[in-house]
Copies of this chain bind each other. A is one copy, B any other.
């Protein structure tokens, strides 16, 4: 972790880096951590290195006037790690680049870091490096998450095939009411799924169920049909619909930022899964792969109709 354009006028950023270093202990998987030009990570033998990067911007992905710094830090880490979960990869580490407006206090930064650290600890990943810059701009955090996975066991968007059913974890919609600031990505659940069944395609729901299902359909070259009554609509989606003009189902389909796992697998594997006792997470079968292409939705007893793959913009 190093500071961009240091100067004697801003020694506190070096102090912050020192403070961060003191809070991130050494571990065998990270032979080189914070404090050098780059970090070095030891992955399991023969594993691929999995990498994903995401920005979190004040006014777009959170509002600093509403979210606590701890929540902001939590979300920044959780959001990137969710993409590792979407690949059924194992989480290993994150690096964090932060651009902060000049007025950001040391106390804010420390709370922010604690939020990142708590999320990382809860997910079993380590903060191994970063970059800090000061500029007249909204607080911006880019978190790059690094994980590992055995080749052939990573879940791609492109693997959905004829005969597959579509499943989802948890409940969808209305995350804007607060869940988007405190969700824990389904990293462990993804690993459990990987070890329990053969995942054909997987994505995490960030853009919204409809938009992300469409990503799977497009990348896999298949059609996907969603069963309207089966979609697990969250209480938040219902609460939101009371005033939004949308229906609870529309919120579940379009809100996004659920960070649940959406995946396809053979119907045999799906049955096997649903028969198990003690599932680590709520699992719902919400649709299936259909002939042709595109995204469809069907109400019981009616013909299916096209579903627009649109997501909502939450904040801006």
Contact = CB atoms under 8 A, between A and B. Distances in A.
Contact of A142 (B55, B308, B313): B55
Contacts of A149: 40
Contacts of A93: 51
Contacts of A46: 45
A5 interface: yes
A87 B31 CA distance: 13
- Per assembly, the copies of the chain total 2
Taking residues whose C-beta sits less than 8 angstroms from the other chain, chain A's interface range is 35 or more
B48 A42 contact: yes
Interface string A27-67: 00001100111111111011011111111010111000000
B48 A40 contact: yes
Interface string A188-205: 000000000000001110
Contacts of A96: 53
A54 B131 contact: yes
Interface string A64-98: 00000000000000000001101101000101111
A158 interface: yes
A162 B42 CA distance: 30
A59 B135 contact: yes
A291 interface: no
A53 B207 contact: no
Nearest to A149: B40
Contacts of A277: none
Contacts of A49: 40-43, 49, 146
Contact of A36 (B8, B59, B130, B158): B158
Given A137-B137, A140-B140, A211-B6, A129 B53 contact: yes
Interface of A: 2, 4-8, 31-32, 35-43, 45-46, 48-55, 57, 59-61, 83-84, 86-87, 89, 93, 95-99, 128-131, 133-138, 140, 142, 144-147, 149, 151, 154, 156-158, 202-204, 206-207, 211, 219, 256, 308, 310-316
5 contacts: A5-B313, A38-B87, A38-B147, A42-B151, A53-B129
- Give 10 nearest A-B pairs by CB, closest first: A38-B52, A142-B142, A37-B86, A144-B144, A40-B48, A37-B83, A53-B95, A41-B49, A137-B137, A97-B142
